Structure formats: C-alpha cells, structure tokens
Structure 1
Amino acid sequence: MTTSPIFIPRPGERGSGPQGPRIQRDWKRELRVWWREVDRWLLFFILLLMLVGTLAVAAASPASAGRLSTVSETLPDLYFFWAHVRMQVLGLCVLIGTSLMPVTLLRRGSVVLAGLMLTALFLVPVIGTEVNGARRWLNVGMSLQPSEFMKPAFAIAIAWILSWKMRDPKLPVIGISGAFVGLIVALLMLQPNLGGAILFVGTWFVMVMLAGLPLQRIGMLTGAGLAALMAAYVFYDNARNRIDSFLGGPTAYDHVDLAGRTLQGGGWTGSGFWLGQNKMRLPEAHTDYIFSVIGEEFGLLICGVVVLLYLAIVLRVLVRLVEEDRLFIILAASGLTAMFGGQAFINILVNLQLFPSKGMTLPLVSYGGSSTLAICFTVGLLLAVTRRNPYLEREPFDIKGSFEKDEEI
C-alpha cells in the first residue's frame, strides 16, 4: 500500500495538496459539532432580542438624531439605526466566533482582557473623554468604554479565582476576589459610575455564594454592603443626588418623568411605528430609555414580551447548569448571567421609575458602539460555557459536599 507524500509548501506558496481539503473538512466538522453542542434555545432567545433591538433603535433613531443635530450638521432620521445595524453585524461575528472557541482558551483570554481593561480603567480619569458630566470613555480611534469589556472578563476571572479552592481549600479566594472587585469599584466611582459599581459587586456576591460561602459570612458581607451604600450616600455626591431624586419622586420634565410618560403613552398596544410623540422630548431615547420608546410605539404588551425574553435567557442558563459537574463552568455561567440579567433589569426598573437612574443601556436592545461588541462577547461566552455534548451524561456537581470533603482531607 502506498501513502501519499506530505506536501511541504515552498516559501511564498499557499498550502495546497492533501492538507488543504482536510482543513476545510475540519472547519465543517467544527461547525457541525458547534451546532450539536450549542444551546439552540438560548441562541434563539439572544437573536430574537437582537431583532427587537433593531426595531427599537429604528423607532428611537429620529428622536435622538433630532436632538443631537446642530445648525451646521443635521443628522438623518435613521442615522443611529444604520450605525446600530453595522455594529450588530460585527457583534454577531464576535458572538459566533467566541462561542466556537474552547473554554480553556476563552478563560486565558478573558483573564488577559481583565488585566488590560483594569489598566484602561486607571487611564480613564486621566485621559478619558467626558460626556454628560461622566468620564467613562477612552478615545482609541473609536469611543471605548473599558468598564463594558471588563464585565464579561470580570465574571470569567472571578470564576477562575474562586475555582482555585477546589485544588487547595486553604487559599483565601474570597479575599483575593474581594480585593479585585474593590479595586474596580473604586475606579468606577471616580468616573463616576455608581450603577456599574453596584452591578460588579452584585455579580461578585452571587458568585461567592455559589462557591460555598458560609451563611455567617454572607450575613457579614450583606451588612458590609449596606454600610458601604450608606457611606456612599453620605460622602459621594453622585450617589446622594440620584437617591434623593428617586426618593423625592420625579419632577416635571426631568428624565425619569419623561421616560414614565413615554412608556405609558402608547397604552397596551402602542401608538404605532414612528408615531410616538413623547419620545421626541426624551433624552437618550436610543440608549438608556429605549425601553420607554418600545412601550410608546409597540405597547406595554411588547414590553412584557421583552421582559419575558430576558427571564427566558436567565432560566435557560440555570436549566443548562443543573447537570454540570465543573465548578468553573458553574461559576462562569452564573457570573455572566448575573451581569447580563442584572444590567437588563436595572435598566427596565429605571424606566418603570422603580430604581434610581443609573445610565445603563438595555443589553442587546439599546444602540451602542463598543458596548454592543462587549455585550455580544458576553453572550458569546455564555453560549461557549453552556455548550454540552448531548451524548455525554453528567452527574450534578455538589459544591458544598466537595468543599466539606476537601476540608476533611
């Protein structure tokens, strides 16, 4: 039997011969494996939310384009819509590409990304761009908000740190991860970005609870969190102003009041696409208050559908983790879900006047530049860590029992 010779391309030649077709077959095989292992329902919910976001930005674009137009430059009505579509196409590439990668590579890359974004957060107060009184962006050829890319990297990095305890129960993983989140919170408060700080702390708290934190320490951390919130109210002007504004109720024609009237302006079924009037006076209609635009033009029933879609994503991830047997995967998926779902529901509660205004976008729905790429990277990571071989049976992972066994050893 004869074997075909190995093709070794000369310098400057493209690889052809036996290796070329095999690489193509490998890509096809990888795609087939991905389609078999990925959670198709989770992918469907994500794509459906992105479609809702495209329609919502199209509805909000005329309002934001009109408000941001100047005497020298008039923005087209669909300016933000077409920009959003371009970023969504790029975001889809990021989403699918991330979900195709192995978890080990994503973990290493996310840890490196966390380090890079932490460095960028140090630079923001010094050379950052200020918008509406907040300095949160770096100008790197495009507007980059480091805290947005830190969110998915943070969830993966914290999951990695907490999973160290499986190898050595004596490692102070809670203290190490707590110092990391504390540094991030301090940098966010300088911007100021109180909403982002709360989101990071809340995500960290969810993850350390899942990592088997004793009830006594949970109570201590809860008390420390309440004390920190009170200290922020006393010493941090941004927090005090937002809390006072929320507790005092909205005044006529402020952002929260306009958002509430816009949300209710269309009733249950909406006023119709491009027929909303209240949105024309609403600031940040295409970003922070896009949920209110959905309510006015498409109706409160569609708002309910949007809320159900976010709940479906959260519940689908939890169902997917029921039979997971790896601690890192459990913590990573839970952290990413807490970060994604927490941001969504804070934004919705702000629009419903049930939470102080935080300046957060609605994930996968609001218009965004680099933030759209960051959100797509987040859900791409979520799809990657929830991939399962349908032919492989797993036993549920007992976190508490595993820690107790390690401590006995």
Structure 2
Amino acid sequence: MTAATPDHSRSSRGQATHAFARSDRSTVGVWWWTVDHWILGAVALLIAIGMVIAFAASPAAAARMNIGDPFHFAVRQCVFAAVAFVVLVVVSMLDVKAVRRSAFLIWLVAIGIMIALPVLGHNAKGATRWLEFGGFSLQPSEFMKPALVILVAWMFSEGQKGNGVPGVSIAFFLYAVSVALLLIQPDIGQTVLITVAFGAAFWMAGVPMSWVMGLGAVAVAGLGSTYFLFPHVASRVDRFLSPDKADTHQVDAAAVAQAAGGLFGRGPGEGVLKRAIPDAHTDFAASVGAEEFGLVFLIVVISLFGFVVLRGLYRSMKLNDPFEQVAAAGLFVLIGQQAIINIAVNLNLIPTKGMTLPFISYGGSSMLAMGLTLGMALALTRRRPGAYTVSEGLAKAGAFA
C-alpha cells in the first residue's frame, strides 16, 4: 500500500486567493482582515480616476502657466496619490487610542502653523492659506479638519461620562479657535465644512435637540453675515444670483464642457474646453472629466462617493463606543460634504468656492489630508472584538477565527 499524501491543492488555492491567511497575526495581516475592503476599494478607484483626470488636465494647465513639462501636474498628482494611499493604509492600522493622540498632535501643529500664516504665509487670490517651502505649498487647515472632528467627538464622549470633564465646553472652544483662524485667512468654505461636521457630531452625541437647533440658527446667521463682512463672498454670491451682470467665464466654460461631453464624452485627451477653464486641474476637475468621459463619468464619481459615505455611516452607527461612533460618522460626513460642494459648484448649483474634489482634484495638501481623514475613519470602523453591536459582532466573528 502507498502512504496517503496530503492534499495541498486546497490550501494552495486559498493562499493564491488571499495575500494573508486568517490566522496571520502580523500587523498587516490583522489589518487586512479587519479593515473594510469595500470602502478601501472604492477609494482606490477614486484615486485612480483622479490620476487619469490629472493627465487629461495637466497639459492645458501647464501651458496656461508657462510650464515646460506638459505633464508637470500629472506626475506630481501621481506622487501625491501614492503617498496619500500609504498614509491612508498606515493610519488605518492605528488603534483607537493612537487615533486620538495623533489627532491631538495634528490639531496642535496645524493650529500653530495657521497662527503664523499672517506673517509667514503665501497670499493668493486675496487669501493667506498656504505655507510655501521647497517648491511645495502646505495648507494646514486641510489637516486641521479631521483632527478637529476626532477631538470634538472625544470631548463629547468624555462629557457624557459624568466624570466632571467639561467636554461640551472644550469642544466648543476647539471649534471656536479653528473657526477664528479660518476667518482670518479668510476661508469661508472650510469654515462651512467644519461647522457642518461639528453640528453633525453635536447631534450624534445625543445633545438636546433645542441645542442643535440653536447652533443651527447661529450657523445660518453667521453664514449670512459673511456676505456683508467679506467682499469676495458678496462678489461670488452676486455673480451667482445675477450672472448676466458679472463675469462668469469659468462657470460658463465648465457648463459648456459638460454639455459637450454628452453621455460618453469626447474621449481620453480629446477635451478642448479645459483650455478655457483656469482651475481645470483643481476645482473644476469634474468638468474636465465630464467633457472627456461624459455624463457617465459624473454618475460613476457621484456613486462612488455616495457608496463610501453611506457605507461608512452605516458601519459607524453599528459601533458600540460613543466616541468611535461620532468620530467615524463625522469624518465620513466631512468627506461627503466636500464632494457635494465641489460637484455642486461644477454644476453651477451654488456660488463658486475654491474647494477640491476629494482624491480627484490636483493638490498635495488636499490629497494627503484626505488620505489621513479616510485612514482615521477606517481605523475607527475596523472590526475589533466588542467594537460592534452584538448582532454585528456575531456576524463578523469569523474575522477573528
């Protein structure tokens, strides 16, 4: 008789299917089996789309700025995208305590730089939002946003524990400092972003509805007052409400580009109207994509963002810990509202605002900060023993087998 030989075919097929075995207890192995693969895949697709759009928009932008290399912005975008994805993965490996500590440090550094901007910052288009060094521009407010969401959620959860920590007061103080420094720059768009995210965290933390409504009324009044306090805000609102009485060249060119693209677009590299859009590679990257890839492109991009945000919110609401729940949901709200604002501007549904489309528009600070934001959100929503509700935990128990 011949001795029976073990059948390795099944195990070899399993190794070929997955890079890590479920029993792998290494940092990367544990991360792979606990992170949300669907969100990770959707974001990877968005980043890939962003690199394609960068190659489409770069020649026109480089020519407009007299830069010799036509793919100057595309190459830089690819570098930013690669670094951002590494940041996303590394940050998503952190535990909850490390996420909180990192957020506190990032917020302090970002606020420190923002305080120095009036003296050391670079002024562009009437705003001082960037710190330039070594040929790169850093916008600290991009990194301050996710850090603030984490800290606010932390303070709300500490205040609910009844241990004498004035969590709500500290959260409002952090928010007030951040908003004050943003208004000094001035940056109304970022102020709106963190205000909405703060309000969402405020509501999800279980604060009485009367407080939420009061905060909403104050926010609406504050937003309305910017029309009278900031001339550039009044100018943009007036152009939006009375386009026949103002220069709306960029918005009009974006609208023509979208219409010219039709359903399936002119084809990769065939767009011509991007040459007439000054910010085609940044704020109006969606219009470049619409001209070359058509309405289908916009639908795919909007669907991907919708999927990331809705799945993220669903997973956030399943979490047991109040801090993790509020912080993760706040981060996904932050990503979603920035995408909504950018696409709404491209479609001329709201007044123009210099705000990038996450993972797609050109910009180092935006790309890296979005990698940080989603990395923190994925870290908080990773499957951990006891992190989810009982039913969810039982459904995911196989991840820890």
TM-score category of the 2 structures, normalised to the smaller one: 0.7 to 0.9
Aligned to 1:329: 324
Aligned to 2:189: 195
Aligned to 1:62: 59
Determine which of 306, 315, 339 is the counterpart of 1:311.
Answer: 306
Q: Which amino acid aligns with 2:325?
A: I
| C-alpha deviation, 1:171, in angstroms | 4.7
Aligned to 1:150: 144
| C-alpha deviation, 1:186, in angstroms | 1.8
**Secondary structure of 1:299's partner?**
helix
| C-alpha deviation, 1:393, in angstroms | 6.0
In 2 relative to 1, CA 183–396 (structure 1 residues): closer, same or farther, beyond 3 Å? farther
Give the Cα separation in 1 of the matches to 2:153 and 2:140: 20
Q: Which amino acid aligns with 1:213?
A: V
Matched, 1:293 2:288: yes
**Secondary structure of 1:336's partner?**
helix
Q: Which amino acid aligns with 2:36?
A: D
In the superposition, the TM-score normalised over structure 1's length comes to 0.85
**Secondary structure of 1:136's partner?**
strand
| C-alpha deviation, 1:253, in angstroms | 5.3
Determine which of 66, 79, 82 is the counterpart of 2:75.
Answer: 82
Aligned to 2:178: 184
Kept in 1: contact 2:54–2:362 (CA 8 A): yes
In 2 relative to 1, CA 327–134 (structure 1 residues): closer, same or farther, beyond 3 Å? same
Kept in 1: contact 2:115–2:181 (CA 8 A): yes
Determine which of 268, 273, 282 is the counterpart of 1:273.
Answer: 268
Aligned to 1:120: 113
Kept in 2: contact 1:160–1:328 (CA 8 A): yes
Kept in 2: contact 1:128–1:136 (CA 8 A): yes
Give the Cα separation in 2 of the matches to 1:64 and 1:27: 47
Determine which of 103, 123, 126 is the counterpart of 1:130.
Answer: 123
Aligned to 2:340: 345
Give the Cα separation in 2 of the matches to 1:244 and 1:227: 18
Q: Which amino acid aligns with 1:278?
A: L
| C-alpha deviation, 1:234, in angstroms | 1.9
| C-alpha deviation, 1:388, in angstroms | 0.5
| C-alpha deviation, 1:179, in angstroms | 2.6
Kept in 1: contact 2:92–2:375 (CA 8 A): yes
| C-alpha deviation, 1:172, in angstroms | 4.1
Matched, 1:168 2:162: yes
**Secondary structure of 2:261's partner?**
coil
CA RMSD of aligned residues (A): 2.1
Instruction: Give ranges in structure 2 of 5+ residues lacking alignment.
Output: 1-22, 393-401
Identity level (%): 37
In the superposition, the TM-score normalised over structure 2's length comes to 0.87
How many residues were matched structurally? 368
Give the Cα separation in 2 of the matches to 1:169 and 1:247: 51
Kept in 1: contact 2:312–2:332 (CA 8 A): yes
Give the Cα separation in 2 of the matches to 1:180 and 1:270: 46
Q: Which amino acid aligns with 1:326?
A: D
Kept in 1: contact 2:156–2:167 (CA 8 A): yes
Q: Which amino acid aligns with 1:190?
A: I
Kept in 2: contact 1:325–1:396 (CA 8 A): no
In 2 relative to 1, CA 252–143 (structure 1 residues): closer, same or farther, beyond 3 Å? closer
In 2 relative to 1, CA 109–280 (structure 1 residues): closer, same or farther, beyond 3 Å? same
In 2 relative to 1, CA 150–27 (structure 1 residues): closer, same or farther, beyond 3 Å? farther
Kept in 1: contact 2:319–2:387 (CA 8 A): no
Aligned to 1:388: 383
Instruction: Give ranges in structure 1 of 5+ residues lacking alignment.
Output: 1-25, 398-409
| C-alpha deviation, 1:175, in angstroms | 3.2
Give the Cα separation in 1 of the matches to 2:164 and 2:329: 24
Determine which of 88, 92, 96 is the counterpart of 2:85.
Answer: 92
Give the Cα separation in 1 of the matches to 2:248 and 2:226: 27
Give the Cα separation in 2 of the matches to 1:338 and 1:92: 20
